[in-house]
Each structure stands twice: as C-alpha cells, then as structure tokens.
C-alpha cells in the first residue's frame, strides 16, 4: 500500500482556527482545515467514521491541554 494522505495538527496555525493540516502525498499540496473526516467499513462491512476536529476535546484530554482529538465512530 502507498500513503496518499496525511493529517496532522499544527500548533503554529492554532490562531487561524484551522490548525488541522491535510497533505495530499501525490503532489504534496497542503490544506488547512478545522475539521476532517473519513468514512470507512470494518471487516464485517459495518460503517466506521474517523473524525478530527479542532476544539473538540473534553474532560481529561482537555484539562491536559489537548485541543484536537481523533474520534472513531461505529
């Protein structure tokens, strides 16, 4: 398999409100967003959603300084 896309958080872009960076590895283009998601299927064919959103941290993660959390929905 080949890596075609990466997603990462950039603290330096936090002030813009769009610190989540999506990089297309085929042409190295970068896009800043506040939210990214992808819909997939697990081995049994059930839908799974991956979501990264700036400002979505809660509870202990938030109290420890996290501002962006990956959530997996099934």
Q: Report pLDDT digits (tens) over 10-50.
A: 999 999 999 999 999 999 999 999 999 999 999 999 999 99
Domain count, the chain: 1
Domain extent, residue 25, equals 5-73
Residue 68 contacts residue 51 (beta carbons within 8 Å)? no
Mean residue pLDDT of the chain comes to 95
CA distance 17 to 34: 6
Give this prediction's pTM: 0.85
Among the listed residues 13, 24, 6, 4, the one whose alpha carbon sits nearest the alpha carbon of residue 54: 13
């Amino acid at each position: 398999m080949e890596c075609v896309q990466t997603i990462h958080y950039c603290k330096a872009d936090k002030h813009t409100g769009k610190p989540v960076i999506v990089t297309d590895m085929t042409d190295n283009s970068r896009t800043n967003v506040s939210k990214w998601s992808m819909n997939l299927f697990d081995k049994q064919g059930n839908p799974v959603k991956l979501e990264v959103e700036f400002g979505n941290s809660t509870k202990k993660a938030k109290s420890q300084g996290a501002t962006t959390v990956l959530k997996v929905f099934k």
